[in-house]
């Protein structure tokens, strides 16, 4: 599913965030220590190679909502933006921290003149954020930020499951018809 919203291309696909050659930057769903972990982080580190951890570990610890940027090494991208999402039920207020992840990632993208970026559904795996609530926050935040983007032209959402893609597709359809 692909739409154009206020001159920004918004795309949702089902796939692996570690294999998105059509974007300049991929977002890592990181933990505080920027350790390799599971899920998104494991997929990104697996393809990027050990240099990614070497390049990022000195940037830890990250607070909830914080984002940092590194190179992408063997990934087919130029940059990795590492965001620490909130652990649901623990890092409060979780809505604000999750929104900050998307805001801070886009801010770093702008500062680095990045034109295309892929996001996973931050915090919805090991960090237990309910998928529907997290999706609402992702869309609220991104649609509010779109006005401020000068360099970013394309935002891609890379989802793991069929139902996840279905929900993102519904949000994109709604945005496209409201616009
Ligand atoms: N590509 C796209 N999405 C994926 C992939 C993939 N390869 N693998 C999983 N997902 P998670 P979090 C989905 O756990 O909740 C890690 O261990 C997954 O289904 O990666 O922010 C880190 O090291 C879910 O919807 O991130 C941290 O310790 C979403 O991506 C911690 O987990 C996020 O799942 C971060 O937890």
The binding-site residues of ligand 1, defined as CB within 6 angstroms of any ligand atom, are 16-18, 29, 31, 35, 37-41, 43, 85, 120-127, 158, 160
Q: What is the CATH number of the domain that holds 138?
A: 3.40.220.10
Q: How far is the CA of 160 from the centre of ligand 1 (A)?
A: 9
DSSP letter for each residue of the chain: -EEEETTEEEEEEES-TT--TT-SEEEEEE-TT----SHHHHHHHHHH-HHHHHHHGGGPPPPTT-EEEEE-TTSSSSEEEEEEPPPTTTSSSHHHHHHHHHHHHHHHHHHTT--EEEE--TTSSTT---HHHHHHHHHHHHHHHGGG-SS--EEEEEESSHHHHHHHHHHHHHHHHH-
Q: What residues pair up with 156 in beta bridges, in sequence order?
A: 11, 118
Ligand 1 pocket test: which of 18, 21, 39 has the largest number of ligand atoms within 8 Å of its C-beta?
Answer: 39
Using one digit for the tens of pLDDT, what is the confidence trace for 78-132?
999 999 999 999 999 999 999 999 999 999 999 999 999 999 999 999 999 999 9
Assign 11 a pLDDT band (cuts: 50, 70, 90).
very high
When divided into structural domains, the chain yields a total of 1
Using one digit for the tens of pLDDT, what is the confidence trace for 129-165?
999 999 999 999 999 999 999 999 999 999 999 999 9
Residue 178 confidence (pLDDT): 84
Q: What range defines the domain where residue 24 resides?
A: 2-176
Q: What is the mean pLDDT of the chain?
A: 97
Using one digit for the tens of pLDDT, what is the confidence trace for 31-53?
999 999 999 999 999 999 999 99
Is residue 107 within 8 A of residue 149, CB to CB? The reply is no
């Amino acid at each position: 599913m692909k739409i154009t919203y206020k001159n920004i291309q918004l795309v949702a696909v089902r796939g692996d965030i570690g294999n998105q050659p059509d974007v300049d930057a991929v977002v890592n769903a990181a933990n505080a220590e920027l350790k390799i972990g599971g899920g998104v982080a494991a997929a990104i580190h697996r393809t990027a190679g050990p240099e990614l951890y070497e390049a990022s570990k000195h940037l830890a610890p990250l607070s909830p909502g914080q984002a940092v940027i590194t190179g992408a090494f063997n990934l087919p991208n130029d940059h990795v933006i590492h965001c620490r999402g909130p652990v649901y039920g623990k890092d409060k207020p979780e809505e604000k921290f999750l929104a900050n992840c998307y805001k801070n990632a886009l801010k770093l993208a702008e500062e680095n003149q990045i034109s295309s970026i892929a996001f996973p559904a931050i915090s919805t795996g090991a960090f237990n954020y309910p998928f529907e609530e997290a999706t609402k926050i992702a869309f609220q935040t991104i649609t509010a930020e779109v006005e401020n983007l000068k360099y970013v032209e394309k935002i891609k959402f890379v989802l793991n499951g069929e139902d996840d893609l279905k929900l993102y597709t519904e949000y994109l359809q709604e945005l496209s018809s409201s616009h």
